[in-house]
Amino acid sequence: MRNLFSMLLLGVLASFVLPARAQGSSAQTVPVTLSWTTYASLRNPSANPDAAPRRVPSFQGAYHGAGQVIGTYTLRLPGTLTSGELRDAVYEAFPADDVKLLGNTTLPTAPTVQLRTGLEARKPYSYVLLQPVRRNPQTGQAERLLSFTYAYQTGASGANARTTARAHVETSVLSTGDWYKIGVPRSGVYKLSLATLQSLGLPVASLDPRRIQVYGNAMGLLPQANSAPRPDDLVENSIFFQGNGDATFTADEYFLFYARGPHTWQASQPARAASLGQPGLY
């Protein structure tokens, strides 16, 4: 099925910090092994740009934020975590050369752990952020975390409850067919001729005009509030076809459809005729 559409896409991720503690036999567990086989090159934004980067020990999959000497490991888990903790942690001392690279970096007596939550495809996920190093409180040695088990419990959150209260389609119309994107600069009636479709890259020689559809959500500027109503998927638009209705698209045939542009108008007050422009900002 050939489809043409004009649309905007917007993704939002919300996050917040939760306490890290899991108790009881009902906790779920995930084993993790870290591979300390790499080094990171860090640059100080305030230093001379010609200065050599600082080389520090790191591990596979580490993320180094601004000003962070120690990399962060991220464990992605489905659901909203209500508690979590490290178990069965295995450490080893940093090699002497790596200790020199760390220099006077301050290390905690236990790995720093944070939990954050977010939404992916409208489903809740939790992210365990871990800096897997410590300074052994008994020996004073700088140590790296080799492996551990993360135990956690999940539960419903306010964000999850608000999300599940809304009905969402399981499969988007974008999952099937061949799609071509077109844009409209302003509201009006637009024409799709054989030449126009050919310029978009459609195989007009084998194109069946009876199978063409137009989709688009004519909302103007998308609402910034997640709770504001909006279409859950692309909406099919009405089209008019001028032609003989067979399976061949000829040069004298065309489609007409009405589309709203990115800039919309809304009434300033119900009792007044004056309207306010709402330009598309993105």
pLDDT > 70 in the chain, percent:
79
Residue 135's pLDDT is: 93
Please give the DSSP secondary-structure letter assigned to residue 25: T
Q: What is the pLDDT of residues 86-126, one digit of tens each?
A: 999 999 999 999 999 999 899 999 998 988 888 888 889 99
Ordered DSSP codes for 70-131? S-BEEEEEES-EEEEEEEEEEEEEPPHHHHHHHTT----SS-EEEEEEEEETTEEEEEEEEE
Of residues 278 and 238, the one with the higher pLDDT is 238
Q: What is the pLDDT of residues 155-210, one digit of tens each?
A: 865 544 454 456 677 788 888 888 888 888 888 899 999 998 888 888 888 888 88
- Confidence (pTM): 0.50
Q: What is the pLDDT of residues 246-274, one digit of tens each?
A: 888 899 999 999 988 877 776 655 554 44
Residue 107's pLDDT is: 92
Report the chain's mean pLDDT, rounded to a whole number. 80
- The SS3 of residue 158 is helix
Domain ranges of the chain: 17-163, 170-278
